[in-house]
């Protein structure tokens, strides 16, 4: 995900692509907001910051299995939300 976000700020993007990319980011933001706060935190730490599961477990004081489950469920919920808004291929 982090690489995907980095690609989004590419200066070589055409104006039409930039508008489309901004729309996708807006929809992604709305989809993430539908998650619980703890799921948002786990998703952000893993997908954006690329923290290890072990680090997330320590910071949030959660069992390792819970971190993995929360991350995978968050990704699935975001993917379903994005697809419901007509966005595919992000995950």
A 10 A CB-CB count for 42 gives: 28
CA–CA dist 46, 67 (Å, integer): 9
In this prediction, residue 83 carries a pLDDT of 94
Distances in whole angstroms, Cα of residue 87 to Cα of each of 24, 51, 70: 7, 26, 22
- pLDDT tens digits for the chain (91 residues)? 544 554 555 556 787 788 888 999 999 999 999 999 999 999 999 999 999 999 999 999 999 999 999 999 999 999 999 999 999 877 6
Q: Note if the pTM is more than 0.75.
A: yes
Number of alpha carbons in the 13 Å side-chain half-sphere of residue 13: 14
May I ask the CATH architecture of the domain 2-84?
Orthogonal Bundle (1.10)
Domain boundaries, the chain: 2-84
């Amino acid at each position: 995900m982090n690489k995907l976000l980095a690609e989004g700020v590419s200066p070589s993007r055409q104006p039409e692509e930039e508008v489309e990319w901004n729309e996708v980011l807006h929809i992604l933001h709305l989809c993430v907001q539908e998650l619980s706060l703890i799921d948002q935190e786990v998703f952000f730490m893993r997908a954006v910051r690329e923290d290890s599961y072990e680090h997330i477990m320590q910071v949030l004081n959660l069992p390792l299995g819970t971190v993995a489950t929360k991350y995978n469920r968050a990704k699935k919920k975001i993917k379903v939300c994005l697809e419901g808004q007509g966005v595919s291929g992000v995950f």
